[in-house]
Structure 1
Amino acid sequence: MRQNERLAALTFDQQRQVAAVALWPWRAPVFAFGLDEAWGIDPPMLESLFRLAAEAPSPESDQAYRQAVAELRTAQLFASEVEPDTIELVQLEILDSLLTFGALLDSPRAVEAERVVDTASGLANYLDGLVEGSFRSHPWEQSHRQYLADLADQVSGQGYLAARSSVIESACHDVLRSLPDGGLLDSATRRELRVLCEDLGEEVVTMLRWLRTTGY
Structure 2
Amino acid sequence: MDWNDDDSLTSRIDGIDRWQRFAVAFLAIRRLHAPLLEFDFPEDWGFDRSWFEALVRPPRDFGSAEWADEFNGLVEEESAAPLWEDEIEPTVVEEIQLDAVMAIDLLHEAWEGLEAEQIRAIVEIPRKVGNYMDEIIELSAEADPAEGDRQSYLGMAGEDLVGYGLGYFGRRNLEIEYRCHDAVGMTSARELFAAPEGQELLALCDDFSREVVAALRLHASS
Q: 1:187 to 1:159 in 2, by over 3 A?
A: same
Per the alignment, residue 220 of structure 2 pairs with: 212
- Identical amino acids, percent of aligned pairs: 27
Query: Take 1:110 and 1:166, find their aligned partners in 2: how far apart are those partners?
Result: 18
From 183, 203, 206, the equivalent of 2:211 is 203
Query: Take 2:74 and 2:140, find their aligned partners in 1: how far apart are those partners?
Result: 39
Query: Take 2:90 and 2:61, find their aligned partners in 1: how far apart are those partners?
Result: 31
Whether contact under 8 Å (2:55, 2:71) holds in the other structure is yes
AA matched with 2:216: L
Structure 2: stretches of 5+ with no match in the other structure: 1-6
Q: What is the TM-score with the length of structure 1 in the denominator?
A: 0.91
From 196, 199, 209, the equivalent of 1:188 is 196
Whether contact under 8 Å (1:25, 1:201) holds in the other structure is yes
Query: Take 1:153 and 1:38, find their aligned partners in 2: how far apart are those partners?
Result: 46
Alpha-carbon RMSD across the aligned residues, in angstroms, is: 1.9
Deviation at 1:45, TM superposition (A): 1.7
Deviation at 1:30, TM superposition (A): 1.0
Whether contact under 8 Å (2:59, 2:193) holds in the other structure is no
Query: Take 2:200 and 2:24, find their aligned partners in 1: how far apart are those partners?
Result: 15
Query: Take 1:43 and 1:53, find their aligned partners in 2: how far apart are those partners?
Result: 18
AA matched with 1:169: E
Q: Structure 1: which 4+ aligned runs deviate by more than 4 Å?
A: 52-55
Q: What is the TM-score with the length of structure 2 in the denominator?
A: 0.89
Q: 1:98 to 1:121 in 2, by over 3 A?
A: same
**Alignment size in residue pairs:** 214
Per the alignment, residue 17 of structure 1 pairs with: 23
Per the alignment, residue 136 of structure 2 pairs with: 130
Per the alignment, residue 73 of structure 1 pairs with: 79
AA matched with 1:92: L
Structure 1: stretches of 5+ with no match in the other structure: none
Whether contact under 8 Å (2:36, 2:52) holds in the other structure is no
